[in-house]
Amino acid sequence: MRVITGSARGKRLRTLDGLEVRPTSDKVKEAVFSIIQFDVPGASVLDLFSGSGQLGIEALSRGAKSCVFVDRSRQSVECSRENIESCGFTEQSKTVNADVLEFLKRPGEYDIILLDPPYRQGLIEKALPLLGERLAQDGIIVCEHEGELVLPEKIGSLVKKKDYSYGKNVALTTYRSEE
């Protein structure tokens, strides 16, 4: 696993071993950042279910102003911290060891919200209704999820903008606030 482009380009990132961890492939990560490339510079980013922190780190490498990394696993948060430090993004980053749904009850507003939860646990469906109040005007949410999951066209103040498919197993769905 590596940072694809930007100031930390080529930097290798550590990941955790085990069945509970499913790092985003480089192909899907490139797709995510192709979708949001014009939103990233100067953005405040929220990386939910952050795992090793690779999505948030990629955003920082590409010019995001700041990133909050949230994961309930203490090992994942430690892994994220190590990767953030090795890439030189400690000043722009905050790591939070918390349940994502509990974290979303806290105040905060973000330009980009990235979700990559464990598959088949209903976590995206639980998190999306809480995100409308956290998304800045003109912000974007990118959800990575199992390929067979179909997310709603509208949820609260959020409107689905597009679905992307990457084989049978992985899909991305983007949301923006209603205009």
Where do the domains of the chain lie? 26-177
Number of CB atoms found within 10 A of residue 142's CB: 22
Cα angle 115, 32, 106; round to 5: 25
CATH class of the 26-177 domain in this structure: alpha beta
Q: What percent of the chain has pLDDT over 90?
A: 80
Closest CA to 51 of 17, 84, 77: 77
pLDDT level of residue 19 (50, 70, 90 thresholds)? very low
Reply yes or no on whether the pLDDT at 25 is more than 80: no
Mean pLDDT, residues 4-30: 80
The pTM for the full model equals 0.94
pLDDT (average), residues 62-72 = 97
What's the average model confidence in pLDDT over 48-55?
94
More confident residue, 18 or 116: 116
Q: Mean pLDDT, to the nearest integer, of 128-151?
A: 94
CA-CA distance, 131 to 110, in Å (whole number)?
A: 10
Helices (H), the chain: 26-36, 54-61, 74-87, 100-103, 123-131
Query: Which band of pLDDT confidence, cut at 50, 70 and 90, is reported for residue 20?
Result: low
